[in-house]
Amino acid sequence: MKQVNEEYFMQAVGNADEINELLRRYGVKFGIYKNGVFNEQFFPFDPIPRVISAEDFRAIEKGLVQRVNALNEFLFDIYHDKKIVSDGIIPEDFIYISKGYLAECEGITPKNKVYSHISGIDLVQAKDGEWYILEDNLRIPSGASYPLIARELTRIAAPQAFSENRIVDNRGYAELLKETMEYSNCGGIRAILTPGRYNAAYFEHSYLAEHTGSVLVQNDELFVEDNVLYQRTYSGSKTRIGVLYRRIADEYLDPLTFLPESLIGIPNLMEAYRSGNVGIVNAPGNGVADDKGIYYFVPKMIKYYLGEEPILKNAPTYLPFYDEDMKYVMDNLEKLVIKDVAEAGGYGVVFGSDLTKEKLEEFRKTIIAEPRRFIAQEVIDFLDLPILDNGETVMRKADLRAFVLSGEKTKVWASGLTRFSRNPDSFVVNSSQGGGFKDTWVLSQ
């Protein structure tokens, strides 16, 4: 905080209502299903920005580029020679049992060998200032649009906060995304595939389509003919799609390859992709690399593929799959956080300290019965961030989702989504769990 001009910094805080009003006006929402009913909620914005110093950001940037490059190498390897398995770095159990591993992607090389075009890497800063990676999201990480539009509107509501502080302009995300999509374009227009208006992240889909100049499409507008993907137009003609930034999960992408009951997929899309006629952003099958179990091995991947020491640390993690780790987990369950590897969005996260004695014993048995299903992590003492709560400043847990885009080069967006928990006793920051977001200022010097 000392590196920013606090007087003007507080200008943003003083205009909190105006900023939230503008965000509301621009429809910054996310959808949530509760008891089977769809509700759209405004994503609460906190005006006190997270500030990351230029020096900190340089280190984070370097670490993230390294990590994502290694993950891309891993994905290529896993769907081809699997050297990392044959060399004994990762046990094969962790590959083939992973829900994210898709045998249907074996042998496919996406254009320019990029698998994870947009990586959402979740980090937390501990009280000692050290940054830790919490998880990698390499399938369809969402959230970039929120800080993007928030910055646009905050600059209107609190201009001096920006003129008096040296903050890197983050408004080039759409351009970066466009470049990334173009790098994987196999000839045709850019399109963003959405499951539709009632998807939780629909605002983001449409906002990014608007700002990247891509066409926002749903499956019923698309078809594959002679292994080429087309959009059906209203005049009866067809337009070729060269790159598809899909915002639907792998298993729903193509009913002829994956789930036959999928109503939101495009028949034969995988054939078009396999033939190299369309780029799919992110590549199907990436789930094998962002599996919470694989997370444990990412530092090993960095050494294996890049021959480098990892710059960013993982949160200390234990795999009950290994006997030694199982023993540690059993002995320390009450102070660890346990994550179900198959869950996402803040679900399947259990803090041992929150469980009663009976529940703890019950959970212990579940872990012993299904060791591959869980990972255990030390609870990191997050650095709390100030947020404004009914006019008062209170401290809350927050994380940072950094966005790393892989095109010709791997680039880290100098911003990110800082999410915070509104509940003082919670570490869970996901919007679906009631969390809010704030702007992330990366200082230029």
Residues lying near other proteins in the complex (CB under 8 A) are found at 24-27, 149, 189, 196-197, 202, 206-207, 209-210, 213-218, 220-221, 231-237, 239
Q: For other proteins, which is the closer residue by CB, 138 or 193? A: 193
391 contacts: CB under 8 Å, gap ≥ 6? none
Q: What is the nearest approach in angstroms of other proteins to the Cβ of residue 387?
A: 24
Q: Does the CA dihedral 97-103-104-108 come out positive or negative?
A: positive
Q: For other proteins, which is the closer residue by CB, 39 or 86? A: 39
- Which string of DSSP letters, residue by residue, matches 31-99? EEEETTEEEEEE--EEEEEEEE-HHHHHHHHHHHHHHHHHHHHHHHHHTTT-HHHHTTSS-HHHHHS-T
Q: For other proteins, which is the closer residue by CB, 36 or 234? A: 234
Q: What is the nearest approach in angstroms of other proteins to the Cβ of residue 237?
A: 6
Q: What is the nearest approach in angstroms of other proteins to the Cβ of residue 23?
A: 10
Say how far apart CA 282 and CA 274 lie, in whole Å: 14
Q: For other proteins, which is the closer residue by CB, 201 or 298? A: 201
Q: Would you tell me how many other CB atoms lie within 10 Å of the CB of residue 314?
A: 18
Q: What is the nearest approach in angstroms of other proteins to the Cβ of residue 225?
A: 16
Q: What is the nearest approach in angstroms of other proteins to the Cβ of residue 215?
A: 5
Say how far apart CA 326 and CA 368 lie, in whole Å: 8
Q: What is the nearest approach in angstroms of other proteins to the Cβ of residue 419?
A: 22
Say how far apart CA 334 and CA 324 lie, in whole Å: 17
Q: For other proteins, which is the closer residue by CB, 231 or 366? A: 231
Tokens matching residue 173: 């995300």
Tokens matching residue 415: 């911003």
Q: For other proteins, which is the closer residue by CB, 148 or 404? A: 148
Instruction: Evaluate whether 186 touches 243 at the Cβ level (below 8 Å).
Output: yes
